[in-house]
Chain A
């Protein structure tokens, strides 16, 4: 965290054209507010500092001394710990920006990042929203709309319906069941406004469909305030592949490359890599081209990600677009050689796409080396990834060649229960996938965390698993390969053994001096003398 406290930003002198990315000469903004917390807030503050932009942090009461607050130039309190009273308060965030004289707001991911209402409020206050325009967020956030958009530009979406399914309409049951038969069972009911698996239902038989539609719609309505649901074929085993897009709002949209995020559980990504293993440059190029077509049609400005499912037969189906910086953007940065957050700031300042992303896009089908990211989360992989907030006693992160760690945690910090449980992203970059996996294994061996259980054991397992090394990844991988309780029990046995050996050693060391004298000279054949003597000593040992 060696951050040089730069002098106040200088006014932009001439020479902007020749040095479009030279921050010290020409920062895109004077001051930017980061409406987020944790590792992503730290990541964005770092980009601001490198650009000579002052960073304004916001925080809730449980983050008063958090890393993003310590790193920022200015910090503003939002409210009590619950997100709805702090990080999700649009009015408070916009007011903090106006009060501190920030010119732009970066939303990070999660919280308000994909709320069109937030982007609108930011723009209404005369500030710049660092992300896609509100209209694009709205249009692409509605998955049905996105599916129709894909259809209109000839990008094949996952087979299914393009209009909201009728719910609780007995007269239309026939029609929707016929539609479902055409799509094929098993299929998924998904919420148009959805995310995180909410409102999602898996249906195996036609007669279960009406009830599943009703319950999925109910859940969607309570989670998102919009009960629209649609049908989609279930593609299994599938791989989850997504394309990083950057657009400058002047018609240029480029793809920086794709990421494979197949290792998931309950639609939460655990491991991401770039490029997607086992794909030929031609297939990559076609995929990137589809994503660019979608982004251009949606009028994309700034950063977004188009997600696809890769079916076992090798065909890609469009899934959805995320109109924000992704958690896993770092792996693309490593193989593309582009600082995506830096580009986001430049684009938001109205600059055309710079040379770095254009060059990266040109070689995106044949990227430099291979990068893998694992998400260290405060979750117990032995107990079905249950959350494990608490105090971190020990925190040693890996370093060395080809290792990047994005985190906001230090030893002694607390992981609060109110927020996302991602605590660090460990990324590695190697000449090829083999080298990257070797590096990941080494990096995770160096990692030491105590105080809370994290997903580290799962990631250590991934780094050693032959099927992962062989690139045999899919969204079913975690369920098929990971036996958390067994791994946990094996480690617990070793822990017991180690603690026992340590206790015996300690006792022996403590007692050795006292024991040596009496024992040496006891030559009686009857062990009871010796035993009673030892028992006397045992009771005097410090415990």
Chain B
């Protein structure tokens, strides 16, 4: 993210965020191969007005299609290439992937993106199912700058805890007004014969509990509010 605040990304760049966050993995910014700028030695006595450009675009040809295309990933040039086999299956080569990795790129799952300018994709890699959000990198950077102040202001406010799996609430371990610490069990949800504990995402006080034992919940349902 540091790279983002330093400079505006290439306007053609894209930012790929994970719909479900994974610890240690931020959004990835990909920018097209930058046109290599070749420095032209400045002749003595000849300035800008002398007619020679300080630098000159080296080439404006089509993007390289020779199989080892360079792409900027978070500002670092990386050789990576994606070749589609059909509309959805593709082979990813490069970036530490010794062998070619089979990838499935699918259109957005049932619920399409609500926010304008962001398109969702379901990507399958080695059996893992990863939902990503694709956005123009420049747009994302602007949006981020605009919302940075706001986010900091709301960070100390209430946190809504939503259901991440569907199931039935079998036990509620806290009551409104209870002080909880991060990791403390809040409630138990039974899904597919298994009991799953839901734990507090941070320290706080239980402001409100929206469900009770026996209630059937769907993904995204509000369970409780921490303040």
On whether the beta carbons of B103 and A495 are closer than 8 Å, the reply is yes
On whether the beta carbons of B25 and A493 are closer than 8 Å, the reply is yes
- B interface residues, tally (CB under 8 Å): 66
On whether the beta carbons of A501 and B165 are closer than 8 Å, the reply is no
Q: Is A351 an interface residue when CB atoms closer than 8 A count as contact?
A: no
Q: Is B24 an interface residue when CB atoms closer than 8 A count as contact?
A: yes
B1-35 interface code vs A (CB 8 A; 1 in, 0 out): 00000000001111010100011110111101000
A501-520 interface code vs B (CB 8 A; 1 in, 0 out): 11111011001100000011
Q: Is A451 an interface residue when CB atoms closer than 8 A count as contact?
A: yes
Q: Is A74 an interface residue when CB atoms closer than 8 A count as contact?
A: no
Q: Is A11 an interface residue when CB atoms closer than 8 A count as contact?
A: no
Nearest chain A residue, comparing its CB with the CB of B105: A502
Q: Is B208 an interface residue when CB atoms closer than 8 A count as contact?
A: no
B196 to chain A, nearest CB (A): 6
On whether the beta carbons of B105 and A504 are closer than 8 Å, the reply is no
On whether the beta carbons of B80 and A501 are closer than 8 Å, the reply is yes
How many residue pairs at the A-B interface have CB separations less than 8 Å? 187
Residues in chain A near residue B119, CB distance under 8 A = 543
On whether the beta carbons of A488 and B22 are closer than 8 Å, the reply is yes
Q: Is A470 an interface residue when CB atoms closer than 8 A count as contact?
A: no
On whether the beta carbons of A500 and B127 are closer than 8 Å, the reply is no
Interface segment out of the listed A200-208, A316-324, A384-392: A384-392
Q: Is B158 an interface residue when CB atoms closer than 8 A count as contact?
A: no
Nearest chain A residue, comparing its CB with the CB of B18: A492
Grouping DSSP codes into helix (H, G, I), strand (E, B) and loop, the B interface class, with mixed when no group exceeds half, is: strand
A387's partner among B23, B110, B118, B191 (CB-CB below 8 A) is B191
The CA of A447 and the CA of B117, in the complex, are separated in Å by 33
**Assuming A496-B16, A497-B28, A497-B95, is B138 touching A489 (CB within 8 A)?**
no
Q: Is A538 an interface residue when CB atoms closer than 8 A count as contact?
A: yes
On whether the beta carbons of B129 and A453 are closer than 8 Å, the reply is yes
**Assuming A450-B129, A508-B63, A534-B11, is B166 touching A389 (CB within 8 A)?**
yes
Q: Is A378 an interface residue when CB atoms closer than 8 A count as contact?
A: yes
Grouping DSSP codes into helix (H, G, I), strand (E, B) and loop, the A interface class, with mixed when no group exceeds half, is: helix
**Assuming A503-B14, A503-B16, is B128 touching A497 (CB within 8 A)?**
no
On whether the beta carbons of A495 and B125 are closer than 8 Å, the reply is yes
A420's partner among B27, B30, B192 (CB-CB below 8 A) is B192
Residues in chain B near residue A500, CB distance under 8 A = 14, 16, 28-30, 71, 73, 134
On whether the beta carbons of B129 and A387 are closer than 8 Å, the reply is no
Q: Is B101 an interface residue when CB atoms closer than 8 A count as contact?
A: yes
B102's partner among A391, A445, A456, A543 (CB-CB below 8 A) is A445
Query: Chain A interface (Cβ within 8 Å of chain B)?
Result: 378, 382, 386-389, 391, 393-394, 417-421, 444-445, 447-454, 456-457, 459-460, 485, 487-489, 491-505, 507-508, 511-512, 519-520, 525, 527, 531, 534-535, 538, 543
Supplied contacts A447-B127, A499-B123, A507-B14, 20 more A-B pairs, CB within 8 Å: A387-B192, A389-B191, A389-B192, A417-B191, A448-B124, A449-B129, A459-B127, A487-B128, A488-B128, A492-B22, A494-B101, A494-B125, A497-B16, A500-B30, A504-B14, A504-B32, A531-B11, A534-B11, A538-B12, A538-B136
Q: List the 6 shortest-distance A-B pairs measured between CB atoms, nearest first.
A: A456-B127, A525-B53, A500-B30, A495-B123, A491-B128, A495-B130
Q: Name 10 interchain pairs, CB-CB below 8 A, sorted by A.
A: A387-B167, A394-B124, A492-B128, A495-B128, A497-B92, A497-B95, A499-B105, A500-B30, A503-B30, A535-B11
